[in-house]
């Protein structure tokens, strides 16, 4: 068996590649601009190091907010161009608004337009190269699944919608099969006896073992897996890859050995992290309430016209360790919305008023919850608090659902910025997977990422 495998880039490598070359191309573009034209606004030199660093920081932050580093969107030319234009516009605007750190405005104002166009075209040029080179099939990670047929469909669908460069070329059934066995038609099934030849023929980069019961793997497949492992071939467990690519915990695949999947983040017991998180909560809650006071007149008028009833309402929710508390929100539904019983809020729910829909989409209805954060009942970031009725129902159906209550609930969270509004049991399962991922990997970096993604959600008006 040949040891040579195809070249491919991991998810983290592609994200780093995008960020590094975005900045490199912008700086190179500014350098070309300064030597080709009479451009004096910002030059690439040590004297302008602060201004250049600020430009790079703005590109990184606003590029993240406007989804320049979302790999799904980065693989498409139309969404990439749109996000580059929005990012460049915001970067230049903020650059002009920070004259203490950025250069003073040039006498010739047209130079600002030159900088704006340079940012757009330099990043766009690199992204065209990225789409046509790095995103091309030659750099795909070609993966072979080994596992039970019952597992294959869910994994193929999950991985296929996450990373465009993660290519599952086929699978080998790890169980004994017969003529009457169920066959999966979604991807090609290879014969177990051809295992080693398939690795060479299909240029496989990685083997993904997707088996609930490793003891049920037939001897022939097990022997080949051991042989490949001894030769240094990359073999990984599907739960590891699932969590790495999808950034959520696969609770639907967790069995009696659940303790292996939940080595929860040390940040949950890190006193310094908890201290800084509480400071973060208090600071931004005060800012949020100040914003609420400033826009209260507008909200009052909107409520009077579009809601016609009480502005605020409270509702019981389940908090940390299952302790109930009263959440405070701006009312977005008609009065007595649940007179016919408790039910999920649906997309385009007829109970939501016109002004209430605006409040939900803009997330302004969440502003009063800063009071809950100040009281210590909630945090800025964490799993969304659910109602006791739904908690009781979901905990009976979904395994480990109560585990999400080991930390404070939050105004926003990994589930909120990663998936749609939960309006069914399936949606709740997906949200739980993201919540458990957050609890497991909780960190300052992940909190910062959630904060940035929350801004994207608000700016793209994706609330429900």
* pLDDT reading at 226 higher than 80: yes
- If we measure between CA atoms, which residue out of 15, 18, 42, 16 comes closest to residue 29? 42
The span from the CA of 288 to the CA of 369, in Å, is: 9
HSE toward the beta carbon, residue 446, CA cutoff 13 A: 21
| Least confident residue range of 74-88, 238-252, 338-352, 425-439 | 338-352
pLDDT band at 255 (very low <50, low <70, confident <90, very high): low
Buried b (16+ CB within 10 A) or exposed e, 71-80: beebbeeeeb
Closest CA to 449 of 52, 33, 12: 12
Structure tokens at 44: 């690439």
Bridge partners of 317, per DSSP, are 325
For residues 75 and 134, give the distance between their C-alpha atoms in angstroms, rounded to a whole number. Answer: 9
pLDDT at 34: 85
pLDDT on residue 391: 92
**Interval 72-92 mean pLDDT:** 92
3-state helix, strand, coil in the chain (%, to 5): 55, 10, 35
> Is the model's pLDDT at 58 over the cut of 60?
yes
For residues 463 and 457, the answer to whether their CB atoms sit within 8 Å is: yes
Concatenating the DSSP letter of every residue in 102-155 gives: SPPPPSSTHHHHHHHHHHHHHHHHHHHHHHHTTTSGGG-EEEEEEE-HHHHHHH
Kindly list the structural domains of the chain, giving each domain's residue range(s) and its CATH number in brackets, ordered by start: 11-132 (no CATH), 140-246 (3.40.50.10700), 266-459 (no CATH)
Sheet architecture: strand order including 166-173: 189-190, 166-173, 141-147, 206-210, 235-237
User: Region 184-189: what's the mean pLDDT?
Assistant: 80
Look up the pTM and report it.
Answer: 0.81
Q: Identify the CA nearest to 144 among candidates 205, 91, 197, 193.
A: 205
How many of the other CB atoms lie within 10 Å of CB of 152?
21
Residue 307 token pair: 């809601």
CB 142 within 8 A of CB 203: yes
Please tell me what DSSP assigns to residue 312.
Answer: E
> 211 falls in which pLDDT band (50, 70, 90)?
confident
Query: Which of 236, 169, 177, 239 lies closest to 204, judged by CA?
Result: 169
Mean pLDDT in the chain? 85
3-class DSSP string for 4-45? CCCCCCCHHHHHHHHHHHHHHHHHHHHHHHHHHCCCCCCCCC
CB 207 within 8 Å of CB 183: no
Residue with tokens 């302790």: 323
| Band (463; pLDDT cuts 50, 70, 90) | low
Q: Please check the confidence at residue 80 and state whether its pLDDT lies above 90.
A: yes
pLDDT of residue 2: 46
Cβ contact 401:312 at 8 Å: no
Residue range 15-36, pLDDT digits in tens? 999 999 999 999 999 999 888 8
Q: 147 burial class (0-12, 13-18, 19+ CB within 10 angstroms)?
A: buried
The Cβ of residue 241 has, within 10 Å, a number of other Cβ atoms equal to 20
Rounded Cα distance, 172 and 199, in Å: 12
pLDDT-above-70 percentage for the chain: 90
Does residue 422 or residue 227 have the better pLDDT?
A: 227
d(C-alpha 175, C-alpha 219), whole Å = 10
């Amino acid at each position: 068996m040949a040891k040579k495998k195809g070249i491919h880039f991991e998810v983290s490598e592609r994200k780093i590649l995008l960020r590094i070359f975005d900045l490199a191309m912008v700086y190179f573009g500014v350098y070309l601009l300064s030597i080709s034209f009479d451009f004096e606004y910002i030059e690439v030199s040590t004297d302008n190091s602060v201004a250049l660093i600020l430009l790079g920081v703005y590109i990184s932050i606003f590029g993240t907010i406007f989804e320049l580093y979302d790999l799904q969107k980065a693989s498409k030319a139309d969404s990439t161009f749109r996000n580059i234009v929005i990012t460049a516009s915001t970067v230049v605007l903020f650059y002009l608004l920070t004259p203490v750190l950025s250069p003073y405005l040039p006498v010739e104002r047209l130079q600002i337009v030159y900088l704006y166009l340079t940012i757009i075209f330099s990043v766009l040029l690199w992204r065209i190269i990225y789409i046509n080179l790095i995103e091309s099939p030659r750099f795909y990670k070609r993966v072979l699944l080994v596992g039970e047929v019952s597992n294959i469909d869910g994994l193929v669908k999950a991985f296929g919608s996450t990373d465009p460069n993660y290519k599952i070329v086929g699978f080998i059934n790890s169980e004994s099969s017969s003529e009457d066995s169920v066959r999966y038609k979604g991807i090609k099934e290879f014969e177990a006896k051809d295992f080693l030849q398939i690795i060479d023929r299909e240029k496989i980069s990685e083997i993904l073992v997707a088996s609930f019961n490793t003891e049920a793997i037939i001897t022939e497949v097990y022997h080949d897996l051991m042989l490949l492992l001894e030769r240094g071939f990359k073999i990984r467990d599907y739960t590891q890859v699932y969590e790495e690519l999808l950034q959520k915990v696969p609770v639907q695949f967790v069995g009696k050995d659940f303790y292996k999947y939940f080595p929860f983040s040390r940040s949950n017991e890190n006193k310094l992290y908890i201290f800084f998180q509480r400071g973060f909560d208090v600071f931004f809650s005060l800012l949020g309430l100040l914003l609420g006071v400033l826009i209260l007149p507008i909200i009052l008028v909107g409520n009077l016209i579009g809601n016609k009833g009480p502005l605020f309402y409270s509702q019981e929710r389940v908090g940390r360790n299952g302790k109930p508390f009263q959440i405070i929100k701006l009312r977005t539904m008609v009065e007595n919305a649940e007179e016919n019983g408790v039910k999920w809020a649906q997309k385009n729910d007829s109970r939501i008023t016109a002004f209430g829909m605006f409040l939900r989409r803009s997330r302004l209805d969440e502003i009063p919850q800063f009071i809950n954060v100040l009281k210590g009942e909630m945090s800025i970031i964490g799993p969304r608090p659910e109602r006791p009725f739904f908690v009781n129902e979901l905990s009976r159906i979904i395994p480990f659902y109560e585990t999400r209550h080991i930390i404070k609930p939050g105004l926003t969270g990994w589930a909120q910025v990663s998936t749609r509004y939960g309006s069914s049991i399936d949606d709740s399962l997906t949200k739980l997977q993201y919540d458990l991922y957050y609890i497991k990997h909780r960190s300052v970096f992940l909190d910062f990422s959630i904060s940035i993604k929350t801004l994207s959600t608000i700016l793209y008006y994706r609330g429900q």
